[in-house]
Amino acid sequence: MRRKPYVQRKRTTTESVLRLPDLEHAKAAVLNSLNSLDAQRGYRKLNHTRR
């Protein structure tokens, strides 16, 4: 009895792309979750320097 040839399947990965409104919403959520004013200030400064 002959064996069927083994075909290796290529795994498909989904690539998530954040659009601008989603990204702004995520940034606002992180900023609102920070309790101290120093942490919020540092997060804002980090985001402005990465552009």
- pLDDT per residue over 25-44, tens digit each? 888 888 889 889 898 888 88
According to the model, what pLDDT value does residue 1 have?
66
In a domain, 3, yes or no: no
Determine the average pLDDT of the residues in 16-27: 80
In a domain, 29, yes or no: yes
Mean pLDDT of the chain: 79
CA distance linking residue 3 with residue 19, whole number of Å: 48
pLDDT higher than 60, residue 18: yes
Q: Which domain holds residue 28?
A: 20-49
Total domain count for the chain?
A: 1
In a domain, 5, yes or no: no
Alpha-carbon dihedral 28, 34, 37, 40, rounded to 10 degrees: -40
In a domain, 28, yes or no: yes
In a domain, 32, yes or no: yes
Say what the pTM is. Answer: 0.47
In a domain, 12, yes or no: no
CA distance linking residue 32 with residue 2, whole number of Å: 64
pLDDT higher than 60, residue 49: yes
CA distance linking residue 51 with residue 43, whole number of Å: 13
CA distance linking residue 27 with residue 23, whole number of Å: 6
In a domain, 25, yes or no: yes
In a domain, 14, yes or no: no
Phi, psi at 7, each rounded to 5°: -110, 120
